[in-house]
Structure 1
Amino acid sequence: MPEFSDLSVLIVDPSPGMRASLHNMLNASSITKIDYATSAGTAIRQLGKKAYDIILCEYDLDGGGANGQDGQQLLEDLRHHRLIAPDTIFIMLTTEGTGAKVIGAAELTPTDYVLKPFTVEALMARIGRAVDRRNALLPAATQVANGNLREALRLCAAGIDGAPRYATDFARLQAETHAALEDWSEAELVYQTVLALRPGAGWAQLGAARCHYAQGRYDDAREALERLLELYPRFMSAHDLLARTYQALGQDHLAKKVLEHAVTISPHMVRRLRHLGELAFATDDIGAAERAFRAVVGKARYSEFRSPEDHVNLVRTLVRKGDAGQAAGVIRDMERSLRGNADTDACRALAAALVLDLGGHETAAAAELARAAESARTAEALSSQLKIGLVNACLRHRLDSPAAALVLDMMNDSARGLTVEQAVDVFEKAGRHDLAVTVGRRATQQAEEALSDTAQKLGQGELRAAVGAITAAVRRSPRNVQVLLTAVQTILRQLDELGWEAPLAEQATALLARLRKLDPANGALEHMAQQYGATRRKYGIAATA
C-alpha cells in the first residue's frame, strides 16, 4: 500500500514478540518509519523528541500488574500535556477479555481499538480508515491548531456539505471550535442538530451538557447528564462533569458520591482520584480523602508527570486526622522520590509547616512557611490552588509580606495568573481588608503603568511590543474597561499596519465581545467595530472572518 509509505509509527508494547510481529505487519504494508517504546515512560520520552503519525499502543502495558500505567492512562497523559497533536492516530491494542471493559470505560477515546489476535489485513483496514478520516479533517484541524478558528468553522461547514461520510466528524469539530471561541449558544445548536439525527450520540449529549454548564445553566446540565448516564452508565467524562455540576449547585456531598461511583468503575484516572480527594476533604470525610490521595500518590509514581502537590494533599489530610507520624513519612517519601522536581522545595516546606503546626511549633512552622512562599515564587508549575492555600497559611502566621508578594507574583503570571478581583477576594476571605486594599491599589498602579508603557511603545512604532504589554495587563485586569479599550485599539492598529494574523483577530473579537457586556453604551465600540471590518476588507478576508 504505497499510500502508507510516508507514515511514521511508534509501537508501544512491552513484549518483544508483539513488537516484532507489528513491525512485520507494517513492513508488509510499505510502512518502514517505525520506532519502539516498551512502557508508558519510554513512550513519553520518545514523543518528547519526535512526532509520529500513528501510535499503536498495547493496553496492558505492565503485564497485568496493579501499579504501572496502562495504555488508557498513557493516552490521558499525552493529550493532557499536549505531547501529541490532535490529529495523531492512536490505536489501542487489547485482548478480547479486556476489550469490552476498556472500551466501555474509556476516559479519552482513542482513534480506534483493535482486538487481539488480528491479521495484517484487519490492522491495515483500521489504519486506512483512520488515515482517510484524518486527511479529510486535516485542513480544518490545521486551522484550529494555528488559531484560525473562524476559517476552521468555514471549512467544517464546507466539509459537512462536501464530505457526507465524515459529516458527523466535521460537526463535532465545528461544535468544539465554537466552544473554543466561548460561543456556547452556537456550539449547543450544532450538538442539538446532531442529536436530532442521532439521538444516541453520547458525545453530542455530553457536548450539549457542557454548553449548559458553561452558560451557568446548571440544572439543565444536571438533567442532561443524568439522562446520559442512564443510557451509558460507563461514560466516565459524564460522571466528571456531573460532579462539577453538583459542586456548582452547592451540593458537594452529591458530587462526592458521583466520583466515588465513577472510581469503582474506572479506578486508575489520577485526576478523578485527586478531585475525589479534594471533595472528601472539603466535606470532612477524612477517611475517603486519605484513601483517594494515597491512591493518587501511588498511581502517579509510575507517571512521567508526578507532582509533589499530591504528597502535600496527603500530608494535609493526615494532619487533619492528627497522624503526624504518617505525615512525616509522606514528606520523607516526597524528598526521596521527587528530589529533582523543581516544585519539591516549596511543597516540602509547606508540608513540614503543616506537621509542625499540628505539634504546636508555631515559630518553626512560620519559618517553613516563609521558605515555602519564597520557593513558590519561582515554582512555575505549582497550581494556583496550592499557592492560595500557602498564602492563607502565611496570613494565619502573620507573614503578611510573603503572602502579599506571592499574590502579586500570581497576578503577574502571564499564563494562569490571578485577576485583580480574585486577588482581592483572597485577602477579603481571610479577613484582611487592609491587604485587599493594598493589592487593589497596586493593581490599579500596574494598569496605569501598562497603559503608559503601551502608549510609549506605540509612539516609538513598536507595535508588537505594545500589544504584548497591553495583553499582559488584560490578563491581570480582565474587567478594566480602559485596559480593554486600549488592547482592542492596539491590536487593530497592528493588524492594519503589519498584516492580518488570525489568532490576533480572534483575540480582538473576544475583547470586543467582553467590552459590549461590560460597557454596552461606550461610544468607542461602534468605531472599533467599523475599523475591524475595514481591516478585514483591506486584506480580502471579510468573507471568512
Structure 2
Amino acid sequence: MGSFFDGKKLLLVDDQRAFQVMMKAMLQNIGLSDITLADNAEEALKICKNKKFDIFLVDYNLGTGRNGRQLLDELRQNDLIPTSSLFFIITGDNSRAMVLSALEMEPDDYLMKPFSQNQFLLRLQRSVEKKRTLHDLFFYLQKQDYPKVVDLCDQHIQDNPRYAGFCRCLRAEIHLKLKEPQKAIDDLEPLIEKTPVTWAKIMLGRAYVQVERFDDAEPLLRSVVRKNPLQVEAYHWLAQCYDQRQEGDRALKILAQATELSPQSINLQKMTAKIAMRNNDYGLLKESLSNVLDLSRHSLKQNPQYLDNYIGSLILFAQHSGDPYHIANLSKQVNTVLFKAKRELIRDPDFDFDHFEDICHARVQIARGDLMQGKKKLYKASESCLKELSESDPALISSTIHGLLQLGEFEYAQTLSEHLKGRDGVDSLTSATLDIVKEGDQLSKKQEQYNQLNREGIQAYQSGDYLQALECFRGALKKLPANTSAVLNKIQALIHIIKSDKKKTSGEFRTECRNALGLLEGLPLGEAHQQRFEQLNDEFQELK
C-alpha cells in the first residue's frame, strides 16, 4: 500500500487547527508526505485552481461560508477533481440530516469523527482499490461517453464480481439518463426477483415512473420507504409518481417527510416548489423558494434565478391571498428581500442588480393595480437587457417575462420564453415556473377570453364594421388592460371611425384615440409594435 502513496498529493480542509495537526501526523504515519492544509472552502478553491490533488479530506462543517458539501459541488462544477482522485467527507456531527445531506452528494466515502488510523487506512484502501479496478469506467463517465460506460459496466460485471452491484446500478442509471427506461427495466426486474436489493428497487421505481407505469412504481417505492425510511431518493420518486398521476396533495405529503429527513436538500425544496405551484399552494411555494434561496447563499456562483423565483412567489402569494394587507405590504417585503440579497446573496459583479431591482419594483407596481405606470417602468428597466438577449442574465429575462405575463403581454412574453428555453444556464425551476404560470387557470382563462374578443374585433374590422370592432377591442382591453396589441387595434378602429365621420361630431372618439396613443407614448416597444404605433400616430395627427 505504501507504494501507492509515493508522490500522491492530499488536501485536508478543516477549520479546527487541533484536528489538522492530529490528522497530518496520522497521514504521515501511513506514508503520505505531500499534504496541503486549508482552513475553509474559499481557501481550498483557490488552492485547487493551481494544484491537482489525488485525495481530498474535507470536513462538512467549515464555520462561516461554504460547507464541505458545497465545496464538493463547486469543485465538480469547475472540473477540479481528477477522475482518479478520492473525495472523503468527514464530520463530527452524526445527526441524520447531516449524514443524508453529505451522502446525497455521493462522495467516495464518509467518515465520522473520531476515527482511528486503522479505520481510516482500511476505508482508504477500499476506495483506492475500487478506483484502481474501475479506473477506465470512471474516466469515460467523467467524459460523459455513456455508451462506452455501459459497455465497460457489462465487462466489469463479468470480470470483477466484487463490483458487480455497483456496475449494475451505474448501468441502470445511464439507461435512465439516456431516456432508455425500458432497458433499465429489462435489466432490473430479473435482478430483483433473485435479490431484492434496495438500490435496485429504487432504480426500478424510477424507470416505472418514466414509462408511466405508476401502479407498478407506487407499491415498489412504498415498500422501500417502509423498510428503509432513510432512503430519501425513494421518497423523491414516489412524489414524482403521485405528481404525474395528478395527486398533488399526496406528492407534497411525501416530500414533507423527505424534507424532514434531509432539510438541506435543495433538490427536494425545488421539487416541492414546482408541485406547490401546480397545486396553487402559494404559501408553501413561498416557503420552499425561501429555503432554496437560503440553501444557495454560500455557493461560489450565487444563482440570481433563485432570487427571481422567490420574489415571484411573494407576488403570487399577495395576488392570490384575497387579503388587501398582503398587496399593501408587498412593496415592503420585496424591498427587504432585495436589500438583503444585494448585501449578502448576490455578489456576482457581472449581474446587473440595479436593473433587476427596477424590474422587480415594476412587477410590484403592476401587482398593486397601477398597470400603465408599472408597464412603463418594466419596459424602461428591461430595455437594455432585451437589446442584447444573448448576453443578459436569465434572471433578468425571466423576471421581465413574469412582468409581461402580469400585464397580459402574451405575445412578447412567448417570444422571450422561446429564447430562454434555448439558453444554457437556465435553472429547471425557472423553466418550470414560467410554464406553470402561463398555464395557470386564471391567466389561461383571461388569455382565452381576450383572444376571442380580439379575433371578433379583427373580423368586424376586416368586414368594415368599425364600431363593432371598437366594442370588441374595448372588451379585450377590459380583460387585459395593458395589452399593447389590443391598444393598437383600438386606435386603428378609432381612426377609421373618425375618418368616416362626415359631420365632424367624433370628439369623444378623438379624445379616446388621443388617450390611447398617450398610453404607449415613450414606451420602448418591440420593433413591429413601434412601427405600427408611429404609423397610427402619424395618421391621427393628419386628422387634426
Shorter-normalised TM range: 0.5 to 0.7
Deviation at residue 24 of structure 1 after TM alignment = 2.5
| Residues 2-81 of structure 1 mapped to structure 2, 5 A cutoff | 2-47=3-48, 50-62=51-63, 69-75=66-72, 78=75
Matches within 5 A, 1:202-241: 202-241=198-237
Report if the CA contact (8 A) 1:314-1:330 is conserved: no
**Aligned-partner residue type, residue 30 of structure 1:** G
Written as runs of structure 1 = structure 2, the 5 A alignment for 1:126-205 is: 126-199=123-196, 201-205=197-201
Alpha carbons 2:8, 2:54 under 8 Å: kept: yes
Paired with 1:355 and 1:86, the residues of 2 have a C-alpha distance of 48
Q: Is 1:137–1:170's contact at 8 Å kept on the other side of the alignment?
A: no
User: What's the CA shift string for 1:290-322, capped at 9, x where partnerless?
Assistant: 333333333322232422233333323333232
Cα distance change on mapping 1:241 and 1:343 into 2, 3 Å: farther
- Letter of the 1:340 counterpart: D
* 2:91 equivalent among 91, 94, 105: 94
Answering whether residue 124 of structure 2 is matched by residue 112 of structure 1, we say: no
Q: 2:413 aligns with which of 393, 403, 427?
A: 403
Gaps of 5+ in 1: 435-545
Distance 1:164 1:234 in 2: 27
Deviations 1:352-382 (A, max 9, x none): 2221123323233223433347537246663
- Taking only the aligned residue pairs, the percentage that are identical comes to 22
- Aligned twin of 2:385: 375
State the distance in 2 between where 1:314 and 1:301 align. 13
| Among 337, 342, 346, the residue aligned to 1:335 | 342
| CA apart distance, 1:275 | 3.0
Note if 1:259 corresponds to 2:233. no
Q: Using the alignment, how far apart are the partners of 1:113 and 1:73 within structure 2?
A: 15
**TM-score of the pair, normalised by structure 2:** 0.68
Match of 1:489 in 2: none
Q: Matched residue of 1:261: which SS?
A: helix
Larger deviation, residues 28-37 vs 128-137:
28-37
Determine the C-alpha separation between the residues in 2 that align with 1:288 and 1:192: 37
Give, in angstroms, the shift of residue 85 of structure 1.
5.5
1:373-452 equivalences under 5 Å are 375=385, 377-378=389-390, 382=394, 390-391=400-401, 393-397=403-407, 399=409, 402-403=412-413, 405-410=415-420, 412-413=422-423, 431=448
Deviations 1:203-239 (A, max 9, x none): 2222111211222223322322211111111212222
Q: Over alpha carbons, which structure has the higher Rg?
A: 2
Give the SS at the match of 1:98: coil
Q: Is residue 58–residue 93 contact of structure 1 (8 Å, CA) maintained in 2?
A: yes
Cα-to-partner distance string for 1:402-442 (whole Å, 9 max, x where unaligned): 535423533553787999xx99x9699655879xxxxxxxx
The 8 Å contact of residues 359 and 400 in structure 2, kept in 1 or not, is answered as yes
Pair 1:122–1:31, CA change in 2 (3 A): same
Cα distance change on mapping 1:412 and 1:57 into 2, 3 Å: closer
What is the CA–CA distance in structure 1 between the aligned matches of 2:8 and 2:82, rounded to whole Å? Answer: 15
Partner amino acid for 2:340? D
Q: How much has 1:278 moved relative to structure 2?
A: 4.0
**CA 1:113–1:414: 2 relative to 1, 3 Å:** closer
Tell me, yes or no, if structure 1 residue 280 matches structure 2 residue 288.
Answer: no
Q: 3-state DSSP class of the match of 1:192?
A: helix
Contact 1:388 1:426 in 2 (8 A): no
Residue equivalent to 2:473: none
Residues paired across the two proteins, number: 423
Kindly state the Cα deviation for residue 344 of structure 1 after the two structures are TM-superposed.
5.0
Please state whether the residue corresponding to 2:110 is helix, strand or coil: strand
2:311 corresponds in structure 1 to 315
1:357 is aligned to 2:366: yes
Asked if the contact 1:300–1:306 (Cα under 8 Å) also holds between the matched residues in 2, the reply is yes
Question: What is the Cα-based RMSD across aligned positions, in Å?
Answer: 3.6
Task: State the TM-score, normalized to the length of structure 1.
Answer: 0.67
CA distance in 1, matches of 2:427, 2:265: 27
What amino acid maps onto 1:306 in structure 2? Q
Listed one character per residue, the Cα deviations across residues 156-211 of structure 1 (whole Å, up to 9, x for unaligned) are 22211111122222222222233333222222233334434542x32222211121
Given that 1:59 and 1:72 are in contact with CA atoms closer than 8 Å, whether structure 2 keeps it comes out as yes
For residue 257 of structure 1, report the CA deviation from its aligned partner: 1.6
Structure 2 distance, partners of 1:416, 1:182, is: 21
Q: 2:6·2:32 contact (CA, 8 Å) conserved in 1?
A: yes
What is the CA–CA distance in structure 1 between the aligned matches of 2:234 and 2:400, rounded to whole Å?
A: 32
1:369 partner letter: L
Q: 1:300 and 1:357, CA in 2 relative to 1: closer, same or farther beyond 3 A? A: same
Q: Partners in 1 of 2:296 and 2:364 — Cα distance? A: 23
1:519 paired residue number:
none
CA separation in 2, counterparts of 1:368 and 1:35? 53
2: CA distance between counterparts of 1:275 and 1:327?
A: 23
Task: Assess if the C-alpha contact under 8 Å between 2:48 and 2:80 holds in 1.
Answer: yes
Quote the Cα distance in structure 1 between the aligned partners of 2:257 and 2:22: 39
Structure 1 distance, partners of 2:60, 2:305, is: 28
- Tell me the amino acid that sits aligned with residue 265 of structure 1: L
Match of 2:242 among 246, 249, 258: 246
> Shift of the alpha carbon at 1:53?
2.7
CA distance in 2, matches of 1:93, 1:19: 12
Whole-Å Cα distance in 2 between the matches of residues 372 and 225 of structure 1? 46
